[in-house]
Amino acid sequence: MRADAVARGWRVVDEGVDSILVDFGVAAARVPVPTDDGRVTLRDTEVHATALYRFDVAADGAAITMWNDPVYWHPDWRVWLPAPGGLAPGDALLRELSSERGDGDAATLRGQPRGAAVQ
């Protein structure tokens, strides 16, 4: 996973015995942004994303749990706010791992994407 992240230009921020934290950096995206009058409008802005992966032993191989943490810059309010989970490319690394398996047994690699709110 580390090699795949680095090959894509992403940064591994932290590694533990059973986890890895990947920083996907900043990208431009069109995001639904709330306005002062309570409506929501699509705006082009900056998005920053990270993902934490935890690896657990499972009877049939390894189970990987992923938490995406995308945030976007609100252009009017000038603060970072939680972004929709689909803006973080965290599951791209999970797909890469399952597609690299030569035995065709992707069932041993289970990813459960979960969005995490920014605190």
pLDDT of residue 98: 64
Ordered per-residue pLDDT tens for the chain, 119 residues: 899 999 999 999 999 999 999 999 999 999 999 999 999 999 999 999 999 999 998 887 788 888 989 999 999 999 999 998 788 888 888 877 665 443 433 333 443 333 433 32
- Read off the pTM: 0.74
d(CA 66, CA 55): 9
Return d(Cα 42, Cα 114) in angstroms, integer: 24
61, burial (CB in 10 Å: exposed 0-12, middle 13-18, buried 19+): middle
pLDDT at residue 99, as a whole number: 55
